[in-house]
Structure 1
């Protein structure tokens, strides 16, 4: 919502690239909106100065962003060359891409990290023939300070999110979001935007916070489920092993009491415990 405004978007672009563009109309926004192919939708895509930028916002770390960006850029290029022949002798030029993710989840992360599509390739030998690089920037309060100072809107967004999380933790969801909005308007943090879009901003904030919490609970449930399944499997394995050990000891003891020969006891162990002759003989030796 904030960066669909070209003025804000240009400010972010200038801060990211050390440029000083002043005309927002130099930006051509080409964001995918529910594209037919795979139902894809990306957060923000725009062209400026013959470069194509794809920006994504994530509140949960996602290692599959290079793969997703591969689909996004393929769809963007398909749109850009539509109506042009790719079979002619003329090289069809397209804007050079740049892939960025802005992360503000609660899981700790360094200021910046870079991930590659090739990390997803199984059994890669040598240099990959296909590569795509995605840079993720941490935009939580206290991170990437220089960027936050150069792009006022991004810095204020980080402050807003920080206040939402603080107050929701103390007061609950609805009351916490409402207080964060009131304080930010009072303190001049995204004040104009929040005044004009208060209802929608609160709704989006509540939805996003709920989404984060639900994803956290889902991860906890998956962990607990995996732990319980592992525990049950371990108990079953232990019981099976214990029963087998008990059966082995009992059979050997009984066979000796009725004075069976060693080769006869080995045959019984092989048949009842489904083991080979060598294993059965070792069992018998261990029971001496």
Structure 2
């Protein structure tokens, strides 16, 4: 037997986000039917560590507690306006022995990650553009199909054989006979 896993996301952004929220994987499913059983579910607890009402007690997990303290150092240094705020935060964290092994091995990645912060608006914009491209492609495909059907209608009126129309339009015999 293994213990039940728990999944957490620590939110430290600047948006108005609740102190705690549960995200469900199934909320992202495309073909989810209301009231039906979900074949796979994952609940993730999101804690907004910047919210004054955040109830997560970090002291029971040393790495998590250190992470929260490290993020506070980053915010403190960032608000100072120094261009090297991230480096300064890492140095302070190392002096306070916060995440020592991790910061020793991954300092450059941590700095890079913070400078390339996730941006919700950019993410939504990219997803919207991708959806538009897919919609445009589907529209072109549908438009092409409609044009083939119109061509078949004209050819049928002109008395062209079904076999010739099939070769000309790529439509199946069944599709052409439905037009008749």
Change (3 A) 1:152 1:166: same
The residue aligned with 2:158 is none
| Cross-structure match for 1:133 | 42
**Backbone CA RMSD of aligned residues:** 3.5
Tell me the matched-pair count. 124
Given the alignment of the two structures, is residue 171 of structure 1 paired with residue 82 of structure 2, yes or no?
A: yes
1:147 to 57, 70, 80: 57
| Contiguous gaps of at least 5 residues in structure 2 | 130-180
CA distance in 2 between counterparts of 1:123 and 1:179 reads: 47
Give 1:113's aligned residue. 21
Cα pair distance change 1:217/1:210, threshold 3 Å: farther
Distance 1:146 1:103 in 2: 10
Structure 1 segments unaligned to the other structure (5+ residues): 1-48, 54-97, 227-288
Distance 1:121 1:217 in 2: 21
Whether the aligned pair in 2 keeps the contact of 1:103 and 1:139 (CA below 8 Å) is yes
Q: Please give the alpha-carbon distance, in whole angstroms, between the structure 2 residues aligned to 1:209 and 1:123.
A: 35
Match of 1:35 in 2: none
Residues 1:219 and 2:113 aligned together: no
Residues 177 and 202 of structure 1 are in contact (CA less than 8 Å); yes or no, is this contact kept in structure 2? no
Q: How does 1:139-288 map to 2 (within 5 A)?
A: 140-141=49-50, 144-169=54-79, 170-172=81-83, 175-186=84-95, 188-190=96-98, 193-194=99-100, 196=101, 198-212=103-117, 215-216=118-119, 219=122, 222=125
- Specify the SS of the correspondent of 1:171: coil
Asked if structure 1 preserves the Cα contact closer than 8 Å seen for 2:94 and 2:103, the reply is no
The TM-score, its normalising length taken from structure 2, stands at: 0.51
SS in 1 for 2:119: helix
Shift of residue 221, structure 1, vs aligned partner? 9.6
- By how many angstroms is 1:210 displaced? 2.3
1:149-170 Cα offsets, whole Å, 9 max, x none, are 2223312211111211331341
Offset from partner CA, 1:45-104 (integer Å, 9 cap, x none): xxxx42463xxxxxxxxxxxxxxxxxxxxxxxxxxxxxxxxxxxxxxxxxxxx5x13223
TM-score normalized with structure 1 length: 0.35
1:4-15 matches, within 5 Å, as none
Is the radius of gyration larger for structure 1 or structure 2? 1
Give the Cα–Cα distance (whole angstroms) in 1 for the partners of residues 30 and 124 of structure 2.
29
Residue among 101, 113, 127 paired with 2:8: 101
Runs (4+) of structure 1 exceeding 6 A deviation are none
Give the 3 Å change call, closer, same or farther, for CA 139–156 of structure 1 in structure 2.
farther
Supply the distance in 1 between the matched residues of 2:97 and 2:53 (Cα, whole angstroms).
Answer: 18
